[in-house]
Amino acid sequence: MDRRVVVTGVGLVTPIGIGVADTWSGICAGKSGIGEITRFDCSQHVTKIAGEVKGFKAIDFMPKKDAKRTEEFIAYAVAASRMALEDSGYTIDAANAERVGVLTGCGLGGLAMLELTARTVENKGPKRASPFFIPMLIGNMAPGIVSIQLGAKGPNKSVATACAAGAHAVGDAVMLIKHGHADAMITGGVESVITPTCVAGFNAMKALSTRNEDPQKASRPFDRDRDGFVVGEGSGIMILESLESALERGAKIYAEMVGYGMSGDAYHMTSPPPDGEGAVNCMQAAMTDAGIAPGDVDYINAHGTSTPLNDLYESRAIKTAFGDAATALAISSTKSMTGHLLGGAGGIETVFTALSVYHDMIPPTINLENPDEECDLDYVPNVARQKTVTYAMTNSFGFGGTNASLILKKYAGD
């Protein structure tokens, strides 16, 4: 089989808002979701800012008893999945449940639960550990609980490829539908690790911004004065299904999934190679899979973390992969507004890319006030841009040198 795959539903839980309408309008308006950390006492931490989800209540999306036993990242995945399923109008029932799967990406899982349980065991003894500790810790409980809550009995898997996990999950879900292993997939990424050890660990690597005095200006991809990324949290989920299924039920189609590329840097634990070779190979593989030329791509939702090396090396990679077509590309980093959701980044950013294709609207890169001379492409600075988007790419690159690129195409009808 080689079936065509389309996006028919989207759901978002982000630092910008809960729900697609609030998040997308905020993204297009250049709204920042970054602020001072409220989850824990950050007074002794070097970095005191993050992209926290505000006003989220798990009981709005699942029974109260289940909500009490569910770690935050799992609840975000359930919420975004419910939104996406409702948006799609897809009904999971006894007749199709075994053909509907769940595949999500998550980098670190229930880190907050791990920290809490470690303190409990150390201070009160091992018998005080919660029986829900392991189920609330492991990343695959996100697709597991989503399947339980929604009744999806098809392929069920979690991907843990660091900051590329969400994009890998979507790409893998596309392949399952293309090759007949499922008819529909609930897929995307999720993360919630704004915790003392996470912030301390990234600070120890000197990876985080320390622009604490002006949080909303802290994430500034491709800007000369960028000083690190900002940790974010949330979930982005899509309903993917075969084109045949979508047409049969008259579904709204946001975009068609047409290209998926993967690669490994084989270079360094945390740094991409200076020439961006792995990213180049990944983007070129996605274009080959889509059967398109570099000049066909209208927009790239960049990995764009706001770290000195990533933004420079990704810019070099785009120039190499796209050649003369690079200067005509519109490129933006929505991490300038959401922060970096780590394993969840590819989920929300693929949703943003689908919405860009559907609405012909390119989100801005905010805080791009002093362009880096070596990052000299069109990064759509500070103001969203109305533009016809026929093909769009989204990039996600992770520690260990793991890379993913996805290409979405406008669906114009057959």
Contact 356, 20 (CB under 8 A): no
- Residue 53 is predicted with a pLDDT of 98
**Over pLDDT 70: what percentage of the chain?**
100
Domain with residue 319: its CATH number is: 3.40.47.10
Query: Which of 248, 269, 287 is a domain's end point?
Result: 248
- Whether residue 49 sits in one domain with residue 123: yes
Mean pLDDT of 107-133: 95
Q: What is the pLDDT of residues 4-49, one digit of tens each?
A: 999 999 999 999 999 999 999 999 999 999 999 999 999 999 999 9
C-alpha distances in angstroms, 108 versus 111, 114, 126, 158? 6, 10, 23, 12
Catalytic center residues: 163, 303, 340
Average confidence score pLDDT of the chain: 97
- Whether residue 296 sits in one domain with residue 155: no
**CA 230, 235, 236, 242 torsion-angle sign:** positive
Q: How far apart are CA 405 and CA 395, in angstroms?
A: 5
The whole-angstrom distance between residue 143's C-alpha and the CA centroid of its chain comes to: 15
Q: Residue 60 is encoded by which pair of tokens?
A: 């709005």
Contact 61, 55 (CB under 8 A): no
Decide if pLDDT at 389 tops 70. Answer: yes
Count the Cβ atoms, other than its own, within 10 Å of residue 180: 12
- Whether residue 322 sits in one domain with residue 205: no
Q: Which three-class secondary structure state does DSSP give residue 189?
A: strand
Count the Cβ atoms, other than its own, within 10 Å of residue 374: 11
Does any domain span residue 303?
A: yes
C-alpha distances in angstroms, 23 versus 12, 53, 158, 331? 7, 11, 25, 19
Q: How far apart are CA 345 and CA 402, in angstroms?
A: 14
Residue 414 — pLDDT band, cuts 50, 70, 90?
low
- Whether residue 230 sits in one domain with residue 179: yes
Contact 11, 87 (CB under 8 A): yes
Mean pLDDT of 312-317: 97
Q: What is the pLDDT of residues 280-298, one digit of tens each?
A: 999 999 999 999 999 999 9
| Domain of 311, in residue numbers | 259-409
Q: Which amino acid is at 241?
A: E
- Residue 1 is predicted with a pLDDT of 67
Q: How far apart are CA 362 and CA 380, in angstroms?
A: 8
Q: What is the pLDDT of residues 191-245, one digit of tens each?
A: 999 999 999 999 999 999 999 999 999 999 999 999 999 999 999 999 999 999 9
- Whether residue 282 sits in one domain with residue 205: no
- Whether residue 15 sits in one domain with residue 118: yes
Number of domains within the chain: 2
Decide if pLDDT at 58 tops 70. Answer: yes
- Whether residue 187 sits in one domain with residue 266: no
Contact 338, 234 (CB under 8 A): yes
Query: Which of 248, 283, 308 is a domain's end point?
Result: 248
Contact 372, 220 (CB under 8 A): no
Q: How far apart are CA 176 and CA 271, in angstroms?
A: 31
- Whether residue 130 sits in one domain with residue 107: yes
Cα dihedral angle (201, 202, 203, 208), rounded to 10 degrees? -160
Does any domain span residue 414?
A: no
- Whether residue 273 sits in one domain with residue 389: yes
- Whether residue 286 sits in one domain with residue 234: no
In the chain, the N- to C-terminal Cα span, in Å, equals 19
pTM over 0.85: yes
- Residue 413 is predicted with a pLDDT of 83
- Residue 80 is predicted with a pLDDT of 98
